Amino acid sequence: MSAPWWAALMPVSTTLGCDGTHRLRWEDGRLWAVDHPDAESEMVLAALGGDEPECLRKVSAWGQHSDNLDALAIGPRSADDDFRVSPAGLETERQRRLIISRLRPGPAPDRARDRRTELYELFSLGLPFTFRLMATVAASWADRPQSARPALTAALSGRLAPAVSTWLRMDADRVDARIYEGSGWGELARTADLLHAALPLGWIAGVWAAGLAVVDRKLVVEVVSVTGSTAEVLAVSRPGAQPEPLTVVLRSGQWRPRSAERRRDGKRTSRDLPAAHGRD
Amino acid sequence: MASEQAETYLRLMAETELRRALALPKVRVQQVAVTRVASATFSFGSTVSARRVRSTRLSARRLRWYALRMLATGRRRQHEGAYDGLHRLTAAADALAAVDAVDQDVARKIIADQQLALELRERVFADQIDHMGMIFGHGARAATGPPAGPFSAVGIAKRTAFEVQGDPAEVTLLALVIGPDRAVLTITAKRHTEMDDDYDDDGFLFLDLVKAADNRGGSYSCDFSGGGDDEEWTGQLELHPVPRPGIQWLDLTFVPGTAPIRISLDGVTPPEPIVEALPRSELADRYLNRVGEQLFECQPADETSWSDGVTALLGAGLITLDSPAISRLTTIAKRLGACLPSGLADRPDCLLSDRWLSVLDSAEAMDGPAGIAAAAAVLPEFEGSRWAIAGLRSNQDSAELDVLGWGAGDGRSYDSPLEMTPRLSWWARDNAGRWHVASMSDESWGDMHKDFTLRFTPALHPAATSIDVVLIGQRGQVTVTLPLDWTPLDRTRS
């Protein structure tokens, strides 16, 4: 039995300017405004014409983008991706939108662009939040991939290929990925020059977004359970092999096999460990 | 009908191109300053006054476009690697959309997402061209068809000579097209005088002062749009207001005090176009034919500029390497000396259709008649557009046909990325048996209009007395036969 998709994603928080400096926290699969204990009432007031606090605006936007496939199309493909939405970049985007809104003929609002800017603002919360947003989106489509199969196949391929490249030291372009819709963890098979991979969409949400894709030179295919910063996962050592249980521990932002943790006596160290995608 | 396989192919291609881009160095992004927009807008003023720009038709929309275009191109680009990938993706999207394998809006969205993904990784500059799309709503704009109401076209092929400020001038009237929302005379104008200042286009200002009157006492003013060199301009005179149906003639006066030239609108029998449906199953064939036409037009030095769309059709499984259409295209490419990508180079030659054989065999013909013909016709509404043929000019190596259009069915506009391969093909066959393939030039777009000149090559056969103009679209074709009753040109146009 698998763990919930968010189990290996550690809580993260950030601060932003609201009515003072407030905190946003993501935990157990949802974003919440720590300093707005009665958020529901405040949202009702905002809906009636009052000012919407920035914290609640972010939470609302998060909810609205929780199935937005653009997050997967645009967002990072790996921890090494150069993806960055800096505050300065966001300001530039706002400036551009200001210019454009003045040049744009007609009063009609451009909802698609507004949504894009909202997404941009969510990305600007930082990479840990960005990975969690992508996990949220992937999880929301996990039980209905047929509704957007091309976009979801690309989302899976774009994230699995770099992981496989790290795992097997092969050209990422030689990875043929598809969404696995059966029961179980999926399939991996290697032919002469291709790796054929079929993984469920939940892999993006539960494994990849948590920085667990490759640990100890194994491809993690499923998170079984998480207790604190220790996770029980299923990992494949080579294509064609069956996944085996592996216990991993989050230390200094990286998942390491428990065995490696125990052997920090100079005899062996873990290599090629990807960074976990953010944590408190 | 859109196919999941084709969309998946396109999206996976985007992933591959993004990985390639990440292996390239970052570009250095210069922040956009508001003042640059302002300065670009103001400097635009000097640009539009340059000759050859259809200045009188420039709208506020175009002004904004030029401002942003200048802003975008004003940046220094350090390398083109990620742009090449974006171009490849766009070419693939264009091809897949052209054969209806991917929805146009989906294709545009994939390109826009890729561009933003590259921007956020600093592999391309934050490009104002994309933001033009957001201003003008590309992708979101609903296709608009031609306006309802009567259309008519009258061939004229008359020349009138007069003096402008003491210098001889000459105007050739090709055709008059009247639609529900505009009336346009296609013309060429010559002035036999030297104009010293390269930026002085006053010599043709008289074209904006033309007056017209009809048999019912109605009067009209004219706006000219067009361009040319010191001696000759080609373009359009747009009449205001639009003449009402039922008038019998128009008298045009180019210079006050000179004799008017009469255009008869009475008793004109328009040619009857023939419309034929084409099978949807041959969409990919027609796309590959259009690629062949582009090869004939451009004869590119390398295969990368034309093969990306073909590769996309193959990759998405919409066509196979052993299909006759691929063999036809590679045979044409070989005949034209174009480079072939490695996967296509070893395809065996095939027997080409009559039209391609004729065009390729006569490519160097220089025996075309030098003259103008009163060729005019209105085609029925065709795939969302309405087209009117508005005059034919022929010289020894080619022939030019002016075309006026209404509606947005063609998909070609300056705010669409999906225009690398035209959706329409224009061919012609003269009654001496020679085929001619068209390329577009002097294209201009307005909100509802798109006008251009078709340049047919090879030259018309000197013995031809009529020509079939064939418009091939996504789902059908229209053929109209036009008589060739030549009015000689006084010299061969270059």
Q: Is A95 on the interface with B (CB under 8 A)?
A: yes
Main-chain dihedrals φ then ψ at residue B198, nearest 5 degrees: -60, -30
Check residue B304 and give its pLDDT: 63
Q: State chain A's mean pLDDT as an integer.
A: 88
What Å distances lie between residue A14 and A10, A79, A127, CA to CA?
13, 19, 11
What residue has token string 């944590």?
A279
Tokens of B204: 């043709």
In this predicted structure, the answer to whether residue A113 has a pLDDT above a threshold of 80 is no
Angle (CA) B482-B487-B490 rounded to 5° is 140
Check residue B417 and give its pLDDT: 54
What residue has token string 């690309």?
A154
CB within 8 Å of chain B, chain A residues 53-72: 70
Are B19 and A161 an interchain contact pair (Cβ–Cβ within 8 Å)?
Answer: yes
* Minimal Cβ distance to B134: which of A84, A113, A150: A113
Given a contact cutoff of 8 angstroms between Cβ atoms, the answer to whether B313 and B326 are in contact is no
Measure the CA–CA gap between B133 and B43, rounded to whole angstroms. 22
Write out pLDDT tens, residues B183-224: 999 999 998 765 555 545 567 888 989 999 999 999 999 999
Q: Is A84 on the interface with B (CB under 8 A)?
A: yes
What burial class does residue A268 get, using C-beta atoms within 10 Å of its C-beta: 0-12 exposed, 13-18 middle, 19+ buried?
exposed
Q: Would you write out chain B's pLDDT as a tens digit for each of its 494 residues? A: 678 999 999 999 999 999 999 999 988 655 444 444 444 443 333 333 333 333 333 344 344 444 444 444 444 444 567 888 998 999 999 999 999 999 988 998 999 899 989 988 989 887 544 443 443 333 444 557 899 999 999 999 999 999 888 889 999 999 999 999 999 999 999 987 655 555 455 678 889 899 999 999 999 999 999 888 877 889 999 999 999 988 999 999 999 988 999 999 988 888 999 999 999 999 999 999 999 998 898 876 666 667 889 999 999 999 999 999 999 999 999 998 888 888 888 888 999 999 999 999 999 999 999 999 999 999 999 988 999 999 999 999 999 999 999 986 444 443 455 556 778 999 999 999 999 999 988 888 776 888 999 999 999 999 999 999 999 998 999 999 999 999 987 643 43
What residue has token string 């091809």?
B95
**Which of B3, B9, B11 to mutate: most A Cβ within 10 Å?**
B11
Given a contact cutoff of 8 angstroms between Cβ atoms, the answer to whether A121 and A49 are in contact is no
Check residue B44 and give its pLDDT: 38
SS3 A119: helix
SS3 A50: coil
pTM over 0.80: yes
Residues sharing a CB contact under 8 Å with residue A91, sequence separation 6 or more, in sequence order: none
How much of chain B is in helix, strand and coil states, percent to nearest 5? 30, 30, 40
What residue has token string 């967002």?
A75
Q: Where does B346-438 have alpha helices with state H?
A: 354-361
CA distance A252 to chain B (A): 26
Check residue B132 and give its pLDDT: 39
Measure the CA–CA gap between B83 and B397, rounded to whole angstroms. 37
Write out pLDDT tens, residues A26-76: 999 999 999 999 988 998 888 888 888 999 999 999 999 999 999 999 999
B1 compared with A188, residue with greater pLDDT: A188
Measure the CA–CA gap between B425 and B282, rounded to whole angstroms. 14
Are A154 and B15 an interchain contact pair (Cβ–Cβ within 8 Å)?
Answer: yes
Are A96 and B34 an interchain contact pair (Cβ–Cβ within 8 Å)?
Answer: no
Check residue A103 and give its pLDDT: 56
Q: Is the dihedral of CA B349, B355, B357, B359 positive or negative?
A: negative
* Sequential DSSP letters for B22-49: HTSPPP-PPPPPHHHHHHHHHHHHHHHT
What end-to-end distance do the CA atoms of chain A give, in Å? 27
* Minimal Cβ distance to A96: which of B67, B116, B131: B131
Write out pLDDT tens, residues A115-161: 888 898 999 999 999 999 999 999 999 999 999 999 999 999 999 99
Are B134 and A85 an interchain contact pair (Cβ–Cβ within 8 Å)?
Answer: no
Confidence of residue A274 (pLDDT cuts 50, 70, 90): very low
Q: Could you tell me how many helices (H) and strands (E) chain B has, helices first?
A: 11, 18
* Helices B324-336 + B354-361 axis angle, to 10: 10
What burial class does residue B336 get, using C-beta atoms within 10 Å of its C-beta: 0-12 exposed, 13-18 middle, 19+ buried?
middle
Strands (E) across B141-192 are located at 152-164, 167-178, 183-191
Q: Is A176 on the interface with B (CB under 8 A)?
A: no
CA distance B62 to chain A (A): 12
